Structure 1
Amino acid sequence: MTTPLRIALGQMTSAGTHDANVAAMRDLAARAKAAGADMLCLPEVAGLMQRDGEKARAQVVEAARDPFIAACREAAAEHALWLQPGSTPVLGPDGRFLNHATMIGPDGALVAEYDKIHLFDVAIEGEKPIGESRRFAPGERGVVVDTPWGAMGMTICYDLRFPQLFRAEAQAGARLILVPSAFTVPTGRAHWEVLLRARAIENGAWIVAAAQAGTHEDGRETWGHSLVVSPWGRVVCDMGDAAGLELVEIDLAEADKAREQIPSLSNDRPFTIDRAPR
């Protein structure tokens, strides 16, 4: 398909229950369709942001039974809309959660599924340590999904700091890479935009990063600033720090033009590292 892709980014302040987030998603889907969008993209943990372990455990179920994913499939079919509903925690086979993303077609069918590979285990100065791996199991496979506009890669949040995943997806044909996120305020202020622009530039790929924003029911604060970055590194859209919806037109052929000018994907070469003695 050569026509531009009209993507709606939904910036959310997700709540600690599925019901509240389903209602927010349905509203965003209706608004996206009314605005003429082909696809709606939502942030990480769009379906459930709940840091209380007991409250989360009482709600999280397997992906096949997850109420947020089911509601997203219904909304996609109702509005004939492609829907990448960010991610939501689901119960994995070993009893831990998976940070689970889907791509849903305009008929409500599941087109692709991806589990976050890199888990956010960090200790930021002045902040409480965050150990995502205490509750979540890592995914093991990258995903590139074919759409009518071209191939798209799937990642989630902290994956952004691992450029090898983005390079592998770009080399597998992705001309647009999705980065649904819930960045903290300190890391968002310091690193969010520069990392997204770097991933776009080094791979000659569109980057679409829907984000969580604001103060959440469970006390967390997220950075916001959902971004769309062109393959040349230009910020096409920055949604600031409030929840909302914004429509962006994307021509995936711009990725081909960027890669023709700077063919880093084809110039990539294997190498080894020698450690020189002192």
Structure 2
Amino acid sequence: MGERDGEKLYSTCPVFGPDGTLLLKHRKIHLYDIDIPGKICTQESETLSPGSNFSVFDTPFCKVGVGICYDICFSELAQIYARKGCQLLVYPGIFNMTTGPIFWELLQRGRAVDNQVYVATACPARDETASYVAWGHSSVVSPWGEVVSQAGSEETVVYADIDLQYLSDMRQQFPISSQRRSDLYSVNATQEG
């Protein structure tokens, strides 16, 4: 959704609790400024401002990190969310018919495996008559990179179990976070939030 704050416009994802309370608003951090000749040219920075905060919230079940669309392309954001204890990353987005077939599932699986988290995405159903045709294929991906549940291009609801015991077992059996070479490299947040 679009959000106006003074003179600035943001692409924003509000998150509400079961009682209707606003838990947080994630403002898209990475603006989609791309130019693929003959396919698509989009310059979000011409109208939108980038967000500058991490968006993490707790549920009774697990901790969740939120990104919007193009944010999924940046592995550092997912790494920071995983380091903050997130077990599920959620990315609503509108990948299109150029980027969707190539990157949509690949990025979800990559973020899930790299960070040993579940990844859930939501993309509008495809409307071939729209000026911007969405890819669809809302999904849930396991920390092993398996697509647990996925829609097609049509309008539907996607369900999946988020098995935190499976996640914990997988992290113990394949301990990439404890085997990172932080003496050689690291990804650091420059701010809290």
Q: Distance in 1 between matches of 2:145 and 2:40?
A: 33
Do the aligned residues in 2 keep the contact of 1:211 with 1:226 (CA within 8 Å)? yes
* Partner in structure 2 of residue 206 of structure 1: 118
Task: Establish whether residue 121 from structure 1 lines up as the match of residue 33 from structure 2.
Answer: yes
* Partner in structure 2 of residue 92 of structure 1: 5
AA of the residue aligned to 2:66: M
Task: Establish whether residue 271 from structure 1 lines up as the match of residue 184 from structure 2.
Answer: yes
Give 1:1-278 correspondences, 5 Å limit. 88-93=1-6, 95-215=7-127, 219-268=131-180, 269-271=182-184
Q: Distance in 2 between matches of 1:227 and 1:183?
A: 13
AA of the residue aligned to 1:139: G
Point out the more displaced range, 211-220 or 130-139: 211-220
Report the alpha carbon displacement of residue 249 of structure 1 after superposing the two structures with TM: 2.0
Report the alpha carbon displacement of residue 143 of structure 1 after superposing the two structures with TM: 1.4
Q: Structure 1, unaligned stretches of length 5 or more?
A: 1-87, 273-278
Are residues 266 and 237 of structure 1, via their aligned partners in 2, closer, same or farther at CA, if it must alter by over 3 Å?
Answer: same
Q: Point out the structure with the larger helix share.
A: 1
Do the aligned residues in 2 keep the contact of 1:114 with 1:154 (CA within 8 Å)? yes
Q: Distance in 2 between matches of 1:271 and 1:245?
A: 43
Report the alpha carbon displacement of residue 218 of structure 1 after superposing the two structures with TM: 5.1
TM-score by length of 2: 0.90
Q: Distance in 1 between matches of 2:166 and 2:91?
A: 19
Do the aligned residues in 1 keep the contact of 2:71 with 2:77 (CA within 8 Å)? yes
SS state at 2:30 partner = coil
Do the aligned residues in 2 keep the contact of 1:117 with 1:138 (CA within 8 Å)? yes
Report the alpha carbon displacement of residue 216 of structure 1 after superposing the two structures with TM: 7.0
Q: Distance in 2 between matches of 1:205 and 1:242?
A: 26
SS state at 2:157 partner = strand
Report the alpha carbon displacement of residue 162 of structure 1 after superposing the two structures with TM: 0.3
Do the aligned residues in 1 keep the contact of 2:29 with 2:53 (CA within 8 Å)? yes
Report the alpha carbon displacement of residue 157 of structure 1 after superposing the two structures with TM: 0.8
Percent of paired sites with the same residue = 34
Once the two structures are superposed, residues 20-59 of structure 1 have per-residue CA deviations (whole angstroms, 9 ceiling, x without a partner) of xxxxxxxxxxxxxxxxxxxxxxxxxxxxxxxxxxxxxxxx
Do the aligned residues in 2 keep the contact of 1:182 with 1:213 (CA within 8 Å)? no
Give the RMSD, CA atoms, in angstroms.
Answer: 1.5
Report the alpha carbon displacement of residue 270 of structure 1 after superposing the two structures with TM: 4.8
SS state at 2:102 partner = helix
SS state at 1:122 partner = strand
Q: Distance in 2 between matches of 1:199 and 1:128?
A: 25
Considering only CA atoms, is the larger Rg found in Structure 1 or Structure 2?
A: 1
Q: Distance in 1 between matches of 2:46 and 2:165?
A: 41
**Which portions of structure 1, spanning 4 or more consecutive aligned residues, are displaced by more than 6 angstroms?**
none
Q: Distance in 2 between matches of 1:166 and 1:249?
A: 21
User: Number of residues paired by the alignment?
Assistant: 184
Are residues 232 and 172 of structure 1, via their aligned partners in 2, closer, same or farther at CA, if it must alter by over 3 Å?
Answer: same
Q: Distance in 1 between matches of 2:119 and 2:183?
A: 25
